[in-house]
């Protein structure tokens, strides 16, 4: 009996690993196509927007001859199909081009700035989940009570407020008026950053044992994270609420109760049932946070890829805009892949239906 149980566990383990492998394998087949599609859209859509990179680079006083030479130097005088295929070939080699805004390779720019945005997004997602899920579950139990109505009101309010406006309000109150948090001067103000390991100052300072810098980084993170959380956690509250209502109202919960099963076990089973929509909305929120970070980074002078993207758009920096879009596409592909893996872990039935 014991060996049969062990064999069954081994078989289930193999089956689980197999499902994960199948899922990841299926996704990777499409990643190249998805990225190529995003790159193509980026290439052509950007060129529909007014703005001449050569003119921006050379300045308004440049002569026509100078502009022509610059366009030749930038490859902008080639026919559009030639530019496109050159771009795709370079992309396959990992060459995202050179930014007119910074003068560096776009890949270098994204590498330097990416951790700033990732740190912001991850903290915002974490706080959003820590606040949103419990509030959603609490709403399911307290809908008719005053606290439930307050939570419901917050869920409705959140998401309807422009993030850049909220950022300015929070800065005015918490930084300027009450001086609780530091001013919007980037991730550490004028202090020197820790030695780069991950590029995320909170993580790097902890790894370096520098608690003072860690605390400073957290203080600078507070307001931008709070801004993103207040704007984007509403969806998590609503989904967590709906999901937990459904899960805790399921028939088996009553059956467990009637059969004398420990309430903790019933709650654990119900929680697992409620998880998939929450995981899905976390992935969706993560994707939204990248977009939300763009304007929030502008307000807080964060120095991440969002601020970089805005600079690139204003300067008609084609390579930088394209690079950002491809990076964002990759981020979202990875984001949803992780979510799908998590879903499969929580609900193996999804693997049978080819999720």
Partner 1 sequence: MKLSRTLLLLLLALSLVAASCGDDDDAAEQPTAAPEPAPVEDQEPAEEQPADEPAPEPEPAAPDVDRTLRVAVAALPVTLDPEFAPGQESVEIITTVLDSLFWFEAEPGADGVRSATELAKGDAGMVPGLVESFEVSDDNLTYTLNLRQGVLSAAGNEFTSEDVRWMLARNFGVGVIGAFVVGIAKIPSMDAVTVIDDYTVEISITTPNPLLLRALQLQTISPVDSAVAKEMATDDDPWATEWMQLDTMGFGPYYVDEFTPGVQLVLKSNTNYWRGEPFFEEIIYREIPDSSQRLTLLRQGEVDIAENLSSRELESLGADEGKTVSVVRNQVIFGAMNTLGGPTADAKVRQALQYALNSDQIVSSVYEGNAKALRLVAPEEYPGYNADLWPYPTGGDADKATALLAEAGYAEGFEIPLLVNADVSDHDDVAVLIRDSLSQIGVDVVIDTKPAAAYLEQANSGDIGIVLHQGYAIVSEIPYHYQLYVSGPTGFLSFGGFNNPRFDGAIAESLSVLPGSERTELVHEIQQILADEVPHLSVVGAPTRYGFGLDIEGYTWYPNNQIWFYDLSRS
When binding is defined by CB under 8 A, the residue of 161, 303, 350, 355 that contacts partner 1 is 303
For 117, phi then psi, to 5°, come to: -70, -40
**Strand partners for 105:** 98
Query: Does residue number 287 form part of the binding site for partner 1 (CB under 8 A)?
Result: no
Residues 247-286 interacting with partner 1 (rule: CB under 8 A): none
- Residue appearing with tokens 């939570």: 151
Using the rule CB under 8 A, give the single segment among 33-41, 97-105, 134-142, 152-160 that binds partner 1. 97-105
Residue 147 Cβ vs partner 1, minimum distance, rounded to whole Å:
32
Query: Does residue number 104 form part of the binding site for partner 1 (CB under 8 A)?
Result: yes
**In 75-194, which ranges are continuous DSSP H helix?**
80-92, 106-142, 146-157, 163-170
Residue 260 Cβ vs partner 1, minimum distance, rounded to whole Å:
22
Residue 258 Cβ vs partner 1, minimum distance, rounded to whole Å:
24
Query: Does residue number 326 form part of the binding site for partner 1 (CB under 8 A)?
Result: no
Residue 220 Cβ vs partner 1, minimum distance, rounded to whole Å:
12
Query: Does residue number 205 form part of the binding site for partner 1 (CB under 8 A)?
Result: no
User: Residue 79, by phi and psi: left (phi above 0), alpha (psi -120 to 50) or beta?
Assistant: beta
Query: Does residue number 94 form part of the binding site for partner 1 (CB under 8 A)?
Result: no
For 155, phi then psi, to 5°, come to: -60, -35
Query: Does residue number 190 form part of the binding site for partner 1 (CB under 8 A)?
Result: yes
When binding is defined by CB under 8 A, the residue of 40, 90, 147, 198 that contacts partner 1 is 198
N-terminal to C-terminal alpha carbon distance within the chain: 34
Exposed, middle or buried, 31 (CB in 10 Å: 0-12/13-18/19+)?
middle
- Residue appearing with tokens 């084609």: 318
Residue 156 Cβ vs partner 1, minimum distance, rounded to whole Å:
29
274 within 8 A of 244, measured Cβ to Cβ: yes
300 within 8 A of 184, measured Cβ to Cβ: yes
When binding is defined by CB under 8 A, the residue of 68, 250, 341, 355 that contacts partner 1 is 341
Number of residues that bind partner 1 (CB under 8 A): 73
Residues 27-56 interacting with partner 1 (rule: CB under 8 A): 49-53, 55-56
151 within 8 A of 139, measured Cβ to Cβ: yes
Residues 59-88 interacting with partner 1 (rule: CB under 8 A): 59-63, 66, 69-70
Query: Does residue number 301 form part of the binding site for partner 1 (CB under 8 A)?
Result: yes
């Amino acid at each position: 009996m014991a060996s049969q149980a062990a064999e069954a566990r081994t078989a289930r383990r193999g089956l689980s690993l197999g499902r994960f492998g199948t899922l990841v394998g299926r996704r990777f087949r499409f990643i190249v196509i998805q990225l190529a599609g995003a790159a193509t859209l980026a290439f052509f859509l950007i060129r529909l927007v007014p703005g001449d990179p050569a003119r921006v680079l050379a300045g308004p006083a440049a002569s026509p001859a100078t502009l022509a030479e610059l366009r030749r130097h930038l490859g902008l005088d080639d026919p559009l199909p030639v530019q496109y295929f050159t771009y795709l070939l370079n992309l396959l080699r990992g060459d995202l081009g050179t930014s007119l805004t910074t003068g560096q390779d776009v890949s270098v720019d994204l590498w330097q700035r990416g951790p700033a945005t990732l740190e912001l997004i991850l903290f915002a997602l974490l706080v959003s989940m820590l606040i949103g899920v419990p509030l959603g579950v609490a709403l399911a139990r307290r809908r008719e009570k005053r606290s439930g109505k307050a939570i419901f009101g917050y869920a409705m309010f959140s998401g309807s407020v422009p993030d850049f406006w909220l950022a300015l309000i929070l800065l005015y109150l918490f930084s300027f008026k009450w001086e609780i948090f530091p001013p919007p001067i980037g991730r550490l103000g004028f202090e020197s950053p820790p030695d780069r390991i991950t590029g995320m100052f909170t993580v790097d300072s902890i790894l370096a044992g520098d608690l003072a810098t860690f605390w400073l980084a957290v203080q600078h993170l507070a307001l931008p994270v709070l801004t993103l959380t207040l704007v984007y956690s509403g969806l998590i509250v609503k989904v967590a609420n709906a999901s937990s209502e459904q899960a805790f109202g399921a028939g088996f919960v009553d059956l467990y109760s009637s059969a004398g099963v420990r309430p903790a076990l019933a709650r654990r089973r119900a929680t697992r049932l409620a998880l998939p929509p929450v995981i899905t909305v976390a992935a969706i929120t993560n994707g939204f946070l990248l977009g939300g970070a763009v304007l929030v980074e502008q307000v807080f002078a964060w120095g991440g890829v969002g601020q970089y993207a805005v600079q690139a758009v204003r300067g008609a920096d084609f390579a930088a805009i394209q690079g950002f879009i491809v990076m964002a596409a990759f981020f979202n592909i990875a984001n949803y892949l992780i979510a799908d893996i998590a879903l499969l872990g929580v609900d193996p039935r999804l693997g049978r239906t080819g999720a």
